[in-house]
Structure 1
Amino acid sequence: VHRDLKPANIMRLRDGTVKICDFGIARLGADMGFTSRLTGTGIAMGTPHYMSPEQIGGGDIDHRSDLYSLGCVLYELATGAPPFDLDDSWAVLVGHRDTVPSPPRALRSELPDYFDRLVVDLLAKVPDQRPRDASDLRRRITTGRTLGGGPHVPPPIPADPTDGLGHTVPLPEPGATPAWARAVTGGPRP
């Protein structure tokens, strides 16, 4: 878990490869005991404009915290400013913890719908509401790019949908769009 993902720690090489650097406060999964919350001195670490709500609140931190930070980076790349671009660091932290950011398309209407939904999902306050992992994120991007971001036609609902880990996902009520389909089709949100 990197714990300080921000634009300055993401480098694009000449060949187009993207590398994450500066693992100064990163922790391996096996090391994520006490340090998953705070440093040994009891101070939360990270960069305020890119910290997840759980980092700010001293909660348990896992890979989904980095996904939140990536959502902040993508938001900034798309709009020109981080989701909570305030002068006061405390206000930035409170924004991450308590405020739902404006969707990127509210600032840049030409952004593809799938990208807007993806960033909003990455910026979910609750880790369980974010993409499961980087593979899930990649799948959502690939699907969104394939659909082209234009008018969306919901995909057929499989008879036995799974969550990608082999677990069966319950079918939605008749007429409702399941969460996994909303994520890639732009269908109605709860």
Structure 2
Amino acid sequence: MTEATKVTETVETARKEGLEIARKIWLAGVGAYGRVYQEAAGRVEKVTGAANELFDQLVEKGEQVEDLVRASISKNEAAGKVTEYVEKTTAQVKTASETRINDLEERFEAVRKTVLEKVTPFVDKVAPLNIFSLGHQVETLTAKVEALTAEIEALKASKAPKAAKKSETEAA
């Protein structure tokens, strides 16, 4: 095996290893970004789901109490006044609950924005997690490896005619 062949094989092996390492780094960054995103989204969903479930339970309990009160009032002489009062109070509670729902939705949106604001700078500052930076680095490394491969091929080509001339001179 000639020395040029050994060099070529060494460079080719290094190029393949470099590409594989760059690919693994890229995949690790993509995986880390996906994990951070899923964890943040999961936490927000848990908070949202728990608040909605609690609210629904409270509404259901309120409806049960309302039914009991109406049944009790309908048996009483002062049912008209009490019914009117209950209906008025029910309307007020409904308005208040709608206001609370809107407030909760605004708070959840604020939490989502805060989470994104806190997570995004962290991801951008940690170099292995910066997917766009990794992609650019992989492209740069690939271009360098291709340039080195071309230089080696050119060196091999320039040495081949000299080796042929040397063989002809020795034969003569």
Where on the TM-score scale, by shorter chain, does this alignment land: which range?
Answer: under 0.3
More helix by share: 2
TM-score if structure 1 supplies the norm length? 0.19
Larger RCO: Structure 1 or Structure 2 (Cα < 8 Å, ≥ 6 residues apart)?
Answer: 2
TM-score if structure 2 supplies the norm length? 0.20
